[in-house]
Structure 1
Amino acid sequence: MAFTYVWNKRNLYRQKITLFGLLALLLLGANTAAVAQKKIKGENKPGYDEKRVHYGFYLALPLTRYNLQHSQWYADQLANADATGEGYITANTKTNIGLYTGLVLNVRMAEYLDLRFVPGVGFYGRPIVFTNTQAEDVEDVQTISSTMVELPLLLKYKAKRRGNFRMYFVGGLKPGIDLGNRKNNPELPDEQLLQVNKFDLAVEYGVGLDIFYPYFKFAPELRFSQGLLNMHQPLNDDAQKYSKSIDRLTNRNISLILFFE
């Protein structure tokens, strides 16, 4: 299946470039903050860590996509196409940019450990590209849009504060509920409809940098999210070839998050 190899190679390079870009933004923000902090003498907000509870808000730009596993029907039609020389349908995912924002409730558990509840609302559009080789390799991009209420519960492990800076790691679980229309486009023919499930659960982990200013704390964070649940909702209709091509869909996000607390 050379076509899937080439496509996956292209997606792999794109993901690496995207990841390096997000890391560069994170390092650039930290470097800019470090330059600004050199102009400020002394330690900002010296009693910040002694407080039990902190509040704030955040803005985030995620790169989002589906991790797609093909169905047995998909494999069978490829095998038949190789044997008979007939056309076939391919299915591959693409990365897209989303947006989410929310609030922060941070509870101090120990000297270097916090519990964070960061509920928010996310807006996503995850494309799946179907190519029909019988129609001269015409691509049909099906974008599944979601408006998600997300409820991440995370543990934050903090390094020792150095002046006005501190590195940290986060990890935990993120339940989500889709409030939007789960059909990609109800005006499409029946054989092209795709649907996803309403509930999701993801594992999240990441790294960030706390930067203390005189009146607030700013923290750029790079966070990875891997869905655990199969979001694909099968449709019991033999005519729906797009849906039959898919066995499993799970969400994948790489997010640059800016916290203000």
Structure 2
Amino acid sequence: MKHILTFFLALVCLSASQAQFKKDPILNLQNEDKRLLNWGYYLGFNSFDFKFEYRNDLPIVEVETNLGFNVGLIGELRLNEFLDVRFEPGLFYSKRLLTFPSAPMDDQLREVNSTYISFPLLLKMSARRFGNWKPFVIAGGSTAINLGANEASLDDNSSGNFRMKQQVYAYELGFGIDFYLEYFKFSPSIRGVFTLNNELVPDVDPASPWTGNIEAMRTRGIFVNFTFE
């Protein structure tokens, strides 16, 4: 996570130099934010984790996270100078490695590969433009379909199959900076995503060494996105 934040800050500083952080810069794209509708796309990467709730005080599930990637489109509706509604459908890929200490020694690991098709509806709240840059915060809700969930599978962890619910509901919070470059607007941002519903599909056996002690399991993640409009 430190490497993600360091990279994000370095990119912001580089963009800031291009966007002219000085007192009276030549203003780029002066009419960019006056249109009723704006379009764009984003690329980025993510780091997904799980938050577990347990029934008993037993060894906890260990989660090893990996970097994934994000790609999507942006549709933006201007409400006024400071508020915009954004729809950001996208595809996110992530991989997590789970270790279940209570399971047999030779069957403790589960690799969870998730491909989400996400549909966020967000409110972007911006400050006043300063020269060629403008900070903003963004918040809203999203629903997503996890294509790798295996929810309908009849095989569970006793057959080596870790199952999750396919439908996911979450809220999102983040911040970023719009940089007005000569030909386009570039916006690096960082965002946290927190699932609301329990995603775990428990094993058939209530005393399963994999899922028997888990009350709930929810995804939480951090995105770093680079938006081009």
Q: TM-score, normalised by structure 1?
A: 0.78
1:79-228 maps to which residues of 2 (within 5 A)? 90-132=60-102, 135=105, 140-182=108-150, 190=158, 192-228=160-196
Amino acid at match of 2:5: L
Q: Secondary structure at the match of 2:12?
A: helix
The structure having more radius of gyration, on CA atoms, is 1
Answer whether contact 2:102 2:209 (CA < 8 A) is retained: no
Amino acid at match of 2:224: L
RMSD of aligned alpha carbons: 2.6
Selected match of 1:31 from 13, 20, 37: 13
Amino acid at match of 2:90: G
Structure 1 residue 141: deviation in Å? 2.2
Give distance in 2, aligned partners of 1:214 and 1:43. Answer: 9
Q: What is the percent sequence identity of the aligned residues?
A: 27
Residues 106-115 or 38-47, more deviating: 38-47
Give distance in 1, aligned partners of 2:86 and 2:186. Answer: 15
- 1:44 is aligned to 2:28: yes
Residue in 2 that maps onto 1:55: 39
Give distance in 1, aligned partners of 2:21 and 2:125. Answer: 28
Q: Secondary structure at the match of 1:98?
A: strand
- 1:71 is aligned to 2:58: no
Q: Secondary structure at the match of 2:5?
A: helix
Q: Secondary structure at the match of 1:131?
A: coil
Any idea what the Cα deviations from partners look like across 1:122-176, whole Å, max 9, x if unmatched?
A: 11222211225874xx683212222211001100000110111000000000101
- Large movers: runs of 4+ above 3 Å: 37-41, 132-135, 185-189
Residues 35 and 71 from structure 1, CA distance in 2 versus in 1: closer, same or farther, beyond 3 angstroms? same
Give distance in 1, aligned partners of 2:104 and 2:123. Answer: 51
Amino acid at match of 2:46: P
Any idea what the Cα deviations from partners look like across 1:35-55, whole Å, max 9, x if unmatched?
A: 223499510000111101100
Structure 1 residue 239: deviation in Å? 6.5
Q: TM-score, normalised by structure 2?
A: 0.88
Amino acid at match of 1:254: I
Q: Secondary structure at the match of 2:86?
A: strand
Give distance in 1, aligned partners of 2:119 and 2:219. Answer: 15
Unaligned runs of 5+ in 1: 1-17, 79-88
Number of residue pairs aligned between Structure 1 and Structure 2: 226
Answer whether contact 1:91 1:245 (CA < 8 A) is retained: no
